[in-house]
Amino acid sequence: MASSMLYSLLFLLFLHQSLFSTANLLHKKSLLKQELLSQSHHTPLNDTPPTLFFEVTKPIKLPKTKPCSYHILQHDFGYTYGKPPVIANYTPPSHCPSQKFSKIVLQWNATCKGRQFDRIFGVWLGGVELLRSCTAEPRATGIVWSVEKDITRYYSLLMKNQTLAVYIGNLVTKIYTGVYHVNVTIQFYPDDESDVVSKSDALVSKHHSPADLILPFSRKLPLNDGLWFQIENSTDIVLNEFKIPQNVYRAMLEDTPGNGPFREVVVSLDGKLVGAIWPFTVIYTGGVNPLLWRPITGIGSFDLPSYNIEITPFLGKILDGKSHKFRISVANALNVWYIDANLHLWLDNKSTKVEGELLEHISSPLVVSLISDFKGLNGNFLTSVSRSISSTGWVKSSHGNITTNWIQNFSYKNSMLIGSDGDLQIVNQIIHFNDSVRAQLPSSSVHSTESHKKFDLYFYYNELDDGNGTSLSHENVTLGFFEKKSKNVGFGLSKSSLRNVQNGQGHMAVKNNLVVSGLGCTQQVYKYDGSNFCYFRNVSSSNYTILYDEEGNTCRRGTRSHSGFGLSRMWSSAAQRAFLAPSLLVNVKKKCPRTPLVLYINGNGGLLEHMKGTGVDVIGLGVDMEDGRKRLDKEISVQGNVDPCLLISSSSCPYRRNSKVCDNSF
């Protein structure tokens, strides 16, 4: 039971703290895994090339011009935990033939060999965070990984002398031997002279260009650890004072929160709420079951998403030449959140002072509903939260009078089921995060951007005690990042949509606090459709091995996926018959009484009632979940999209034992 309680506690830490990689929090769980996950006994180390780790994302759209490469850092990160970040002097790329650039890309390249935890790291320039990421967990034969990030929005920062700071809190011992060998390079792409914006669109283009000045909201050097602030609970507040130039006509705060869910990052200015962030849940490379993320890492793990909060409507309050206080806090925070921000400012070079006024500001309080039903340690939580924020203000500059409207709408739903005295845990969560900015320009043209995001999380965890100090855990994860964007910049309307879905199934056998076996498989479908660019990738892996990988950049309707939630052609005929013959489930339960039966049904139909008495533990429904619960009358737990891999296996999943049991039952 002690082992069961350990996994139960660590899973709750995941819910409240998705930063699995902080060293002071992870030793207990990771020690159970490192002995297995870092070994490679069957292959000579010298003959095996390092494994390439990657996060699935669309490539950066680059200009046709040849880039000018600028290598800014090379360092080996060994024993660096709790020590100062690595510092280097940065100067603008004077060696480049052109000094005007249309695209600037940061490249992070790293290698590691041996045994090591995953580590959070950051890259700052002049205190401004350029990149936050997570290292890949190495193996004895070595790994390599790279991250490319478009940093063109930091153009003004890159054109001045700055201090570069990079921090990875790594520990090296006789057991944890991995040293991260890192190279950081910036690629500067010269302007394409054929891409010229007409004079009539000059103001619109300026409004859409990178900021003229970027002020850091971070800790100042010298210091130990990273430049981010650490928020350990809901009462912690990060406070920073800014005195901005009086000729600012647009302002935006870029924030990189560290965790979820339910966590709300709240930003206020002089005590008034200006915006909020409900972040996507990022699972790092050591999270849940590390074998799930080898070599395909979790969504956002190599390049954490940042979020923008429009400050422009409030400029009339802070263009007085005085210092003003920005404050960041995290509702319901638990140890530990890494928080910093970048304040982007656009300057009116033809004016020494810009005027402004806040016309309207509406901030609704959080609307929270929490329902729980527990008997002892078993039961469920249902949580829903909503909020809306809007503000409107104008600024008057040499460009004329610009009125900006900023709106945010949020909704959050989470269901959590806990059974088997904490050994069975199921979480289903959906976040809707919508925002829009509308700027009315003097020419009567409108510059607007809209973003509609949906963040999905499904988590299944079950631990079985096999006796003699042995336990078996099953993990099932689904992450979904969906976004639709539209942008009107005065000379054209552009739209894009992103559908990024990741499914993972894994299990581990633990004996006497050491992992003796384990498997994990991951499937991911990434589909981006833009006005002038499309990208598609469908990839699957199992324990370091890529099973299939399809990639394309042509725009097309619909995609073919090997990893659908329902029955697919990859499933054996025996598996398909099992779904049509509930009596077979009884045979499976008899032969594997300790294996949880998880079934997915595409639609309720009349099959639900036949599941009663079969021993099925969980049923996943893509639609009509409430109707399904009524039909089953709480006899079987009804959840959302549940991969049936735990019951009957497709060829790419690790649960071959269950598949054989089902096949033999016919």
- Percentages (nearest 5) of helix, strand, coil residues in the chain: 15, 45, 40
Query: How confident is the model over 324-345, as a mean pLDDT?
Result: 87
CA distances from 267 to 227, 239, 310, 453, 613 (A): 19, 10, 11, 20, 52
pLDDT tens digits for range 184-223: 999 999 987 655 544 444 554 555 689 999 999 999 999 9
**What span, in angstroms and rounded, lies between the C-alpha atoms of 395 and 369?**
39
CB 91 within 8 A of CB 165: no
Q: What token pair was written down for 451?
A: 């973003």
What pLDDT, on the 0 to 100 scale, is given for residue 532? 86
What pLDDT, on the 0 to 100 scale, is given for residue 34? 38
* 558, amino acid identity: G
pLDDT tens digits for range 359-369: 999 999 889 89
Least confident interval from 15-19, 233-237, 406-410: 15-19
On the question of pLDDT at 467 being above 90, the answer is no
What pLDDT, on the 0 to 100 scale, is given for residue 489? 77
On the question of pLDDT at 567 being above 50, the answer is no
pLDDT tens digits for range 605-650: 445 655 666 667 777 665 566 666 776 766 777 776 554 443 333 3
* Widest Cα–Cα separation across the chain: 83
* Extents of the domains making up the chain: 2-563, 574-664
On the question of pLDDT at 558 being above 90, the answer is no
What pLDDT, on the 0 to 100 scale, is given for residue 633? 66
pLDDT tens digits for range 573-586: 333 333 334 545 55
DSSP class of 547: E
Least confident interval from 222-226, 280-284, 496-500, 562-566: 562-566
CA distances from 72 to 87, 164, 187, 247 (A): 11, 8, 11, 33
What pLDDT, on the 0 to 100 scale, is given for residue 148? 97
pLDDT tens digits for range 149-192: 999 999 999 999 999 999 999 999 998 999 999 999 999 999 87
What pLDDT, on the 0 to 100 scale, is given for residue 421? 87
Q: How confident is the model at residue 664 (pLDDT cuts 50, 70, 90)?
A: very low
What pLDDT, on the 0 to 100 scale, is given for residue 560? 40
CA-nearest of 319, 393, 316 to 359 is 393
Map residue 541 onto helix, strand or coil.
strand
Map residue 1 onto helix, strand or coil.
coil
What pLDDT, on the 0 to 100 scale, is given for residue 209? 87
On the question of pLDDT at 257 being above 80, the answer is no
What pLDDT, on the 0 to 100 scale, is given for residue 425? 92
CB 651 within 8 A of CB 429: no
Q: What token pair was written down for 100?
A: 């005007």
pLDDT tens digits for range 113-136: 998 989 999 999 999 999 999 999
What pLDDT, on the 0 to 100 scale, is given for residue 87? 97
| Burial bucket for residue 388 (CB in 10 Å: 0-12, 13-18, 19+) | middle
Of 95-104, 329-338, 463-472, 511-520, the range with the highest mean pLDDT is 95-104
On the question of pLDDT at 490 being above 80, the answer is no
pLDDT tens digits for range 376-416: 888 998 999 999 999 999 999 998 999 999 999 999 999 99
Q: Write phi, then psi, for 650 (nearest 5 degrees).
A: -80, 170
What pLDDT, on the 0 to 100 scale, is given for residue 591? 62
Least confident interval from 50-64, 131-145, 437-451, 517-531: 437-451
On the question of pLDDT at 654 being above 60, the answer is no
**What span, in angstroms and rounded, lies between the C-alpha atoms of 389 and 310?**
11
Task: Give Cα 548 to chain centroid, integer Å.
Answer: 23
Considering the chain, what percentage of its residues have pLDDT values greater than 70? 73
The mean of the pLDDT values for the chain is 80
Q: How confident is the model at residue 590 (pLDDT cuts 50, 70, 90)?
A: low
Query: How confident is the model over 474-490, as a mean pLDDT?
Result: 92
Cα Rg of the chain, angstroms: 26
Query: How confident is the model over 91-109, as a mean pLDDT?
Result: 96
* 633 Ramachandran zone, left/alpha/beta (phi>0; psi -120 to 50): left
Torsion of CA 631, 635, 641, 645, to 10 degrees: -130
On the question of pLDDT at 603 being above 50, the answer is no
